Amino acid sequence: MTFTSPLAEALAPGLLERFLRYVRIDTQSARERTRSPSTPGQLDLARLLVDELQAIGLDDAALDGNGYVTATLAGTGPVIGLIAHVDTSPDAPGAGVEPLVHRDHPGGPIELPRHGIVVEASAGDIVTSSGDTLLGADDKAGVAETMAAVAHLAAHPELPRPTLRICFTPDEEIGEGATLFDVERFGAVCAYTLDGSDLGELQDETFSAEEVVLTIDGVDAHPGWAKDVLVNATRIAAEVVAALPPELTPERTDGRDGFIHVYELAGGSGRMEVRAIVRDFDDDQLHAHTARLRSTAEEIVARHPGARLDVAVTAQYPNMRRYIDAFPQAVTAAEEAIRAEGIQLIRTPIRGGTDGSRLSAMGLPTPNLFTGGHDYHSPREWASLQEMAAAAAVVVRLAEVWARDGAPPPR
């Protein structure tokens, strides 16, 4: 794969250096968060980013007490935000990342040195892990692209740009990236997360999301004297999971289909906890899936005298489409920037969420841009340098669009 433009090619060497530096820092977030950020490694990367932002001339770069890095590149016109997250997923090992650069890969399989893992990658300069860990392109590709684009603009004051507000957030992978984000202080009319995947992606729609926790209390007893006494919560939990419709699982759905995903069972015969995430693009369907999970559990637990059920439902994030639709210039500016880079535009909904889901609901319309990372949350994760460089170039062109068009009408 060739570079999409001379600008992208010029950005690539510095971008790659940044990316390789960032992925070596262990920034996995932890689901059982007791502080922000949930893990100290995120602060290590955050401090490095503050130093690098100050070195390129963004003197106000700072790290707040909750792990958010912010900075400003002054320009002409409206204030536009650029956002990426520093944490990586807890779904696969993330400590000790050893990035490998496979130059001039012809496209096809790459066998990693460890564990016999095979990556299917496109042609170009490809970055992978060694196979022991995830790579961390989600979202250190977005971090590196933002840094590369902002450094380029700072080094070339003659290039048009609006005032750019940069923010690197913690704990996005556990759904907390926007929790302590100060939208008013950030002061942007809209923002863009760099947290997508395929070249040319522009996304303004996500799942709506809920988490459901079923707690099943049984009656424990010594198995040798358990007849007519034991009410086994483990077996009841297994019945509940088995009774859920298979057509509503992630492995059987795609496109605009929602799902119920049971991702964890924990406990023993006396008490079991069943954790599930529920997703759909339509709120009514989302609530119907949650009701299906609840009613299935209630029906099965009721068959076991002595067992008790508690159901806790937590809203996680909304479909951001309804909020971004009220501010269409956020999307049209990004469309123009992607096309200006000579890239075919791809408009697909996200079968997941981003910081932009909650930020849009909080009053900051935030579409999502591609990064060139692929196969996230696994040791098969890889990133294309050519696609990453294209993403950084799109940010530079997006700055030009906003500087030319000026402030949009009030929302």
Q: Which helix (H) or strand (E) holds 79?
A: strand 79-85
pLDDT for the residue 46: 98
Query: What pLDDT digit, counting tens, does each position of 134-143 carry?
Result: 999 999 999 9
Output the pLDDT for position 32. Answer: 87
The conformational region for residue 118 under phi > 0 = left, psi -120 to 50 = alpha, else beta, is beta
pLDDT at residue 256 above 70? yes
> What ranges do the domains of the chain cover?
6-206+319-405, 208-316
Amino acid identity, position 93: P
Taking only the tens place, the pLDDT of each residue in 7-44 is 999 999 999 999 999 999 999 999 889 999 999 999 99
pLDDT, averaged across the chain: 96
CB within 8 Å of 90: residues ≥ 6 apart: 28, 29, 30, 31, 173, 174
342-385 pLDDT, tens digit each: 999 999 899 988 899 999 999 999 999 999 999 999 999 999 99
Enclosing H/E stretch for 71: strand 69-73
pLDDT at residue 409 in the model: 55
Tens of pLDDT, residues 206-228: 999 999 999 999 999 999 999 99
Average pLDDT value for residue range 99-127: 97
Distance CA 69, CA 53 (A): 10
The answer to whether the Cα torsion of 142, 148, 149, 150 is positive or negative is positive
Return the CATH fold of 208-316: Alpha-Beta Plaits (3.30.70)
Catalytic choice (26, 125, 171, 172): 172
- Asked if residue 410 has pLDDT above 70, the reply is no
Q: Identify the CATH number of the domain defined by range 6-206+319-405.
A: 3.40.630.10
Q: Residue 1's pLDDT is what? A: 80
Note the pLDDT of residue 353. Answer: 86
Beta-strand relationship, 69-73 and 62-63 = antiparallel
**Distance between CA 355 and CA 170 in Å, rounded?**
10
Residue 172 known to be catalytic: yes
Is the separation of the CB atoms in 376 and 283 below 8 Å?
Answer: no
**CA 363/CA 121 separation, integer angstroms:** 38
Q: Provide the whole-model pTM.
A: 0.91
Name the catalytic one among 26, 52, 87, 195: 87
